[in-house]
Amino acid sequence: MSNTHPSLYDAAELFQDSTLDKDAIKESVSNILKAVGEDQRREGLAKTPERVARMYEELLSGYRADPVAMVNNAIFKVTYDEMVIIRDIEFYSLCEHHMLPFMGRAHVAYIPDGKVIGLSKISRIVDMFAHRLQVQERMTRQVADFIDELLHPKGVAVVMEALHLCSMMRGVRKHDARLTTSTMLGAFKTDLAVRMEFQENISRSAEPLHF
């Protein structure tokens, strides 16, 4: 881990400069298949442990995403000081309680104080935190805190709305229930007019969530 940007690594949380232990995952999946009474030797399951290990390497890549390399110096000095809003960033994550997916959209805004970041990097920041075992409430705060640490803007706002398969497939089985979470920092927290401008903008999202 680089010592050049220690605060950025702190803001990223849980960064691991290591590889995924695929062998341990394969063994665990094999044990699950046996525990539920399946025959792992049959054609459809023979390669399932390997497939699941590769899947987790992708879905949980956020633990190993280097935040400094991800940002890659894409921060630019500007005189612009109006609200920057990136709407409808699709994300997919895994609930840490049941390891079932939840998926949705993130809306991110900030008010620059001399610096802006490349547009694609906001989506990458969302993905970095989404590709971990998560709860939506914490993930929303992590994205906001990371952008705040990165840019030191006048304010940051993050709103996320998602459908959770753990409530759609099991338990209460409410197919259309979605969770909305928000974090407001700086001017978005203290200035009602700023917060309302942001909320009016994201309310224009074209379509409801359907997956």
51-65, 119-133, 164-178: segment of lowest average pLDDT: 164-178
Cβ contact 127:142 at 8 Å: no
Given this model, what pLDDT does residue 13 score? 82
Q: Residue 116: is its pLDDT beyond 60?
A: yes
5-14, 26-35, 46-55: segment of lowest average pLDDT: 5-14
Q: What is the mean pLDDT of the chain?
A: 90
Mind listing the pLDDT tens digit for each residue in 119-153? 999 999 999 999 999 999 999 999 999 999 999 99
Which domains are assigned to the chain? 20-59 (1.10.286.10), 73-202 (3.30.1130.10)
Given this model, what pLDDT does residue 15 score? 80
Q: pLDDT confidence of 207, banded at 50, 70, 90?
A: low
Given this model, what pLDDT does residue 175 score? 65
Higher pLDDT, residue 31 or 1? 31
Q: pLDDT confidence of 1, banded at 50, 70, 90?
A: very low
Given this model, what pLDDT does residue 2 score? 46
Provide CB contacts within 8 A for 208, sequence distance 6+. none
Handedness of CA 116, 121, 127, 132 (dihedral sign): negative
**Residues marked as catalytic:** 95-98, 136, 164, 166
Portion of the chain with pLDDT greater than 70, in percent: 91
Beta-bridge mates of residue 164: 102
Portion of the chain with pLDDT greater than 90, in percent: 74
- 61-100 as b/e, with b when 16 or more CB fall inside 10 Å? ebbbbbbeeebeeeeeeeeeeebbebbebebebbbeeeee
Given this model, what pLDDT does residue 210 score? 56
Q: pLDDT confidence of 176, banded at 50, 70, 90?
A: low
